[in-house]
Structure 1
Amino acid sequence: MRLKLLVAAFAISLVGTGARADEITHSFLACGQKTYIMGADGVPSWTYPANTRDGYVLDDGIIILTLSKSKLHSGGAVVSIAPDGKETLIWKGTQSEVNSAQPTADGSFVITEAGNNPRLLEVSVAGEVLVEFPLACQKENHHMQTRMARKLPDGTYLAPHLLNFAVFHYGRDGKVLGKLDTTVPGDPDRKIHTWPFTAIRHGDGHTLVCCTNGNRAVDFDANGKIVWTLTNDDLPGKWLQDPCGGQVLPNGNIVVTSYAGGRADRNAPKLFEVTREKQVVWKYADGQKAGIHHFQILTTNNEKLQGPALK
């Protein structure tokens, strides 16, 4: 696939166009049924002609994308795209899906594969396997095995397992070190499906988890206790519709994407930012049914975000 610069025909709109100078603006990478970089002015600057599941823009301008399965990559793939448009294959999936690829500080990539033998891998930029272990999730439903696996600063890993209703914490050897149960309190039979999709370690050992289908985001403290919850009852409308990806910003605010946000209401935001007090301070909509699977906020008020992206 070849990197494509944006053409004027790419029609998209930004909620808040014509915003006041004191309003928040963001630029961001969007991954999903459409893949693009949206400028703070509401004008996309770059597009990619494939469906993607995860993505990162690195400090040197390289873009890492996790590709959905396709005719070209039947098991999904991970690619690197240089600023000049040159594309390099990092990993070609060997099973049903590749669902995430996190660049680490060491230059490696943390990848998950779904299939008969779900596994986590850490590979070099050349595709050499550095770490590999099986994931302790259910095996019957490949698509619902896992999503955004992330390596933590201590060298361990977090992996959300959707139908296991928990975020698993793995050691480098694959040993399960602990779990964060995303079951709704008071619902032991799990009639409310709260499938964990994104798990973000932040602050003093906290973990923010976006629960798709359950339409909620929860923040666990270092002891595994839920200390903050965001639901549609906290918002101006039913904006949490399959909240897949999330990101914790340097100021502590949280951005969430609703993958199904445009299906019932085309004007519903695809992305929105809330404070810890649950005040909405920014939102984005594009008037399309196609959702944003995950994203990366790149700038705020034209200032590049510093430090690793907590997403």
Structure 2
Amino acid sequence: MNHPHRLIALLCCVLGCSVAGNAAKAQDITHSFLACGQKTYLMGADGKASWTYPSASRDGYVLDDGTIILTLNKSKRHRGGAVVRIAPDGKETLIWKGTQSEVNSAHPTEDGTFVITEAGDQPRLLELSSTGEVILEFPLACQKKNHHMQTRMARKLSDGTYLVPHLLDFAVFHYDDKGKLLGKLDTTVPGDSEHKIHSWPFTAIRHGDGKTLVCCTNGNRVVDFDASGKVIWTLTNEDLPGAWLQDPCGAQVLPNGNVVITSYAGGRADVDAPKLMEVTRDKQVVWTYRDGQKVGVHHFQLLTTNGEKIAGPILK
């Protein structure tokens, strides 16, 4: 990991850099971003990593003050995964140490709390105070047999409810703050029994007027639902220059409505699939990121576009 005292300068460089370079492949659009996966790093718009973290991560956020929140994979140091805070001066503090099989996400809310999910024999959602105290907890209504396939990117909505993708339940569950199930978004591809694809939801993003964008990993598609649960937009490999959706795990909806998607298996596929791509609502690819490595990006956060900090709430 870079020396702690350099983190402030490196973050300032990433958040303020406007130099086009290798990451943009001479495109008109450049982005800097935080990447989470087997490798965790800050990538500048010039295509150079300015900061790296020595552990694999599942989810991550860069806060307005430059603090980085990481959801860490389980490891020898954190047997059940963990959530850590890295201050701009490089000081790291533990927010939550996992108590079961995995910690799968950590969402910093507008109230300064953190919403996390634990996978295990008793899958659960917890909301923590800024100091890591449990202020809310309820069990998740997902299957219990396969811990790893229970949940991924849980997010708290502005109305105080929660969206939680449950992979092997093939649906995004909507819970209230008591854990009551308010509804589901079914991610199964329609069709007869022989042609149905029970696609696994990974990231669910509430945006616009009650719409919910969902990344479906094994189905290699991204779907947008309206407020009533009707599918209003779908992106598949048939819409792209090639088979570029290769296990699409994470996504981010930008202020202009474009969607940035990561293909976790992009580097391992036998196609020239980018690690990240930005797609317009009319399905035109306007930006891609490739690094030539087989290690994938699990999730990410775009920080700047053409040198300007991305405004508004982070929809990822």
% identity of equivalent residues: 78
Listed as ranges, the matches of 1:119-138 within 5 Å are 119-138=124-143
Over residues 253-282 of structure 1, what are the superposed CA-to-partner deviations in whole Å (9 max), with x where a residue is unaligned?
A: 000000000102474200000000000000
Distance 1:299 1:214, change over 3 A: same
- Does residue 100 (structure 1) correspond to residue 105 (structure 2)? The answer is yes
TM-score between the two structures when normalised by the length of structure 1: 0.94
Distance 1:190 1:199, change over 3 A: farther
4+ long deviations beyond 6 Å:
1-7
Match of 2:239 among 195, 214, 234: 234
Question: 1:164 and 1:294 mapped to 2: Cα distance?
Answer: 21
Name whichever of 285-294 and 184-193 sits farther off. Answer: 184-193
Maintained 8 Å contact 2:244/2:271: no
- Does residue 145 (structure 1) correspond to residue 150 (structure 2)? The answer is yes
Match of 1:49 among 31, 54, 63: 54
Gapped regions of structure 1 (runs ≥ 5): 8-12
Question: 1:230 and 1:145 mapped to 2: Cα distance?
Answer: 24
Which residue does the alignment assign to 1:180?
185
Distance 1:3 1:119, change over 3 A: farther
Maintained 8 Å contact 1:99/1:146: yes
- Does residue 79 (structure 1) correspond to residue 84 (structure 2)? The answer is yes
Over residues 215-262 of structure 1, what are the superposed CA-to-partner deviations in whole Å (9 max), with x where a residue is unaligned?
A: 000000000000000000000011101000000000000000000001
Distance 1:43 1:173, change over 3 A: same
Distance 1:59 1:278, change over 3 A: same
SS in 2 for 1:307: coil
Listed as ranges, the matches of 1:292-311 within 5 Å are 292-311=297-316
Question: 2:141 and 2:30 mapped to 1: Cα distance?
Answer: 40
TM-score between the two structures when normalised by the length of structure 2: 0.92
Letter of the structure 2 residue corresponding to residue 130 of structure 1:
I
Match of 1:256 among 255, 261, 282: 261
TM superposition shift of 1:307: 1.3
Aligned residues, how many?
303
Match of 1:225 among 223, 230, 234: 230
- Does residue 62 (structure 1) correspond to residue 83 (structure 2)? The answer is no
TM superposition shift of 1:151: 0.1
More helix per residue: 1 or 2?
Answer: 2
Letter of the structure 1 residue corresponding to residue 292 of structure 2:
G
Match of 1:39 among 21, 44, 49: 44
Maintained 8 Å contact 2:252/2:301: yes
Gapped regions of structure 2 (runs ≥ 5): 11-20
Letter of the structure 2 residue corresponding to residue 246 of structure 1:
A
